[in-house]
Structures are given as C-alpha cells and as structure tokens.
Amino acid sequence: MPFPYPSATTGFIALAALIGLAGCAALVENRADTRETEWETETPPSGQFVEVEGHRIHLMVTGRARGTAPDLVLIHGANGNLRDFTFDLVPRLESRYRIIALDRPGLGYSDSWGEADSDPRLQARVLREAAEQVGLSRPIVLGHSYGGAVATAWALQDQQDTAALVLLAPAIEPWEGDLSFWYNLNTTALGAPARAVVSAFAPESAVDAALVNVFDPAPVPEGYGEHLGVGLSLRRDSQANNNRQVNALLGYVTEMQPHYPELTLPIEILHGDADVTVGLDIHSRRFVGEVPSARLEVLEGAGHMLQHTHLDAVIAALARARRRAGL
C-alpha cells in the first residue's frame, strides 16, 4: 500500500493534530485550499471520465487498438492513482496489450461513493462498469497491494469474463495486529484536523520519507514523485477516503476469504520476501494454499513496489497469465 506514514513522521502528525485543534482552523484550511489547487494544477487528469451511478471515474486507455490484443486492466494500491503505472510499466506494455488504467473510487480524480467504497467489492463492480464503457473483452486484471483485493473481488464477481489475475504484493488475506499510528489516528476525532494540517504544511522531507519507506530496500526512481503527483494523495478528501478504505479492509477481506477456493481462473502472484508493507507469508503464501490455480513467484530481496523495481518479472508474469488464459 503506497505511502504508509513512517515512524519518523509521527511527531509531525501528532503536532499537526494539536495545531488543528488549537484555534488555527481558518489558517490551516486556507493554506490547504491553496496547496490543493496548486497540486491539481501541476498534475491534471491524464485520461478521460466516465459516469457510473451518477459518479465520475477517471481512467486512461492506451496501447493497442481494441480487438488487436488482450485487454489489460490496471488497479493501483492505497494512496495512489493510475499514474503509478504510467511512470514506467505502461510504456513497456503498450505494444502488447490494450491497457485500461483506472483511479479507484475516492482517489486520484475518481469520485467517492462515501462509506460504501470502503468495500473493495463495490470498487471492483464500479471499476468494471467503468471499463465496460470504453470496451472490455475478457481482460487480464492486475492489482497492486490494496488493488490486489479489488482485482480479486473483480474475479469473484465476474470470473467467467475475466481471463486471468496478476497480483503484485496483494493485501488479500485477514491479518492480526493494528495498522500504523497514522491509520489508527484517523479513527479518532484528531483525524480530520491532522489531515488538514498535513495538507497545509507537510514538508517535502516527510513526503520523501514516505516514498523511501514504501520502496525500501530499493531506491526511489528519480522523478517518480513528480510524475505520480504526490500532492494528489495529500488532499484532505483523498486522505480521508484512503484512510477509511484501509481501516476497513480487514473486515472485507475476512468476508471475501472463504470464497477464494471458488476461483479457478489463472492467477499469477509476485511478492518480495523483503516486503514490510504487505507480508508475504500472511497474504500471498496463504492465498496459494487456498486457490489451486494461483502460482506464486517469490522475488528475493524485493520490497513492495514491484511494478517499478522488478519490471521484467511483472512483464513475464503477465505473459504467463496470458498464455494460461489462452489469449
């Protein structure tokens, strides 16, 4: 799940919450308004909008012409947007697939369904309906991290018309223990003022630390933060939607997990053994024990952001999924 807040920034976050409650609300909100406008100007929508149930979903279609290559759907992780894939993965795939990358509900430039989009199953249905509006034929669906739960929900809902899954470090199994300090804070009354102060005043060093944390042990690719538009993730609404979705994920994957043995479509999973964001043993190794059609490749020394650090392995996994699906 991209951009967990590392322990080095917890002091700033705690101070942010106190400032937000200390009578400076107008200053904080005005400053946040200004920065959010700047971020959206710097990183405007890169695709198109379609309407689903009265809400807008932002997506991008690129690559081969419709009907000349398999459809490939890309679903990003927590705190991200579709630009996470266009940094370096999409350019490597455009000659082989027709690609549909989407902003998940409430993130990037896609509208939120409110509390309802805390459920990855709703997200899967909404994204599938959005993709169908630009033409969709038995796609391979790739999901990273939180997006892995959405991709898995997609297959559970529409297995017959889904060719295969490719899951990168997927968060798909129940786990024990708490989430980080930041996610716990956002379940309290301090969450809203803390989010406002983060949006208004978060220093570049805190953003850099978050990127380093999620890419560890690999370096952050040069220019990645600017391409992604990290400010989009720091907007107050985006923070609120992401935190709500992540805090609710455990309950929903617990409900989904008993249905995993129903999956029979080809599933290729990549997971790094140095991933400290989504645990290999907790998620991917458990999943392949439940789903006979799932195949796991463990990448030695790899962290969480495989779509950037292990491009060749991702491309090869997609090719395997494509062959297994008979595309």
- Across the beta sheet with 267-272, the strand order is 48-52, 55-63, 98-102, 71-75, 140-144, 164-168, 267-272, 294-299
Model pLDDT, residue 183: 81
Q: Which two tokens stand for residue 164?
A: 């295969």
- Segment 153-179 mean pLDDT: 95
- Give me the chain's average pLDDT, please: 92
**Residue 15 confidence (pLDDT):** 52
Domains and CATH numbers, the chain: 7-324 (3.40.50.1820)
pLDDT in tens, 84-128: 999 999 999 999 999 999 999 999 999 999 999 999 999 999 999
CA-based end-to-end distance of the chain:
30
Q: What is the pLDDT of residues 145-159, one digit of tens each?
A: 999 999 999 999 999
Q: Please choose, from the candidates 169, 168, 162, the residue with its C-alpha nearest in 3D space to the C-alpha of residue 266.
A: 162
pLDDT tens for each residue of 263-312: 999 999 999 999 999 999 999 999 999 999 999 999 999 999 999 999 99
pLDDT-derived band at 4 (thresholds 50, 70, 90) equals very low
233 has a pLDDT exceeding 90: yes
Checking if the pLDDT of 193 tops 90, the result is no
Mean pLDDT of 176-199: 81
Q: Percentage of the chain surpassing pLDDT 70?
A: 93
d(CA 286, CA 170): 11
Task: Let me know: does 85 contact 307? Beta carbons within 8 Å.
Answer: yes
**Which spans in 218-310 are helix H?**
224-228, 230-234, 236-256, 286-290, 306-309
Q: Please give the Cα distance from 36 to 46 (Å, whole number).
A: 17
Burial 217-230 (b: 16+ CB within 10 A, else e): ebebeeebbeebbb
Q: Which helix (H) or strand (E) holds 312?
A: helix 311-324
Q: For position 206, what pLDDT does the model report?
A: 84
Return d(Cα 111, Cα 105) in angstroms, integer.
6
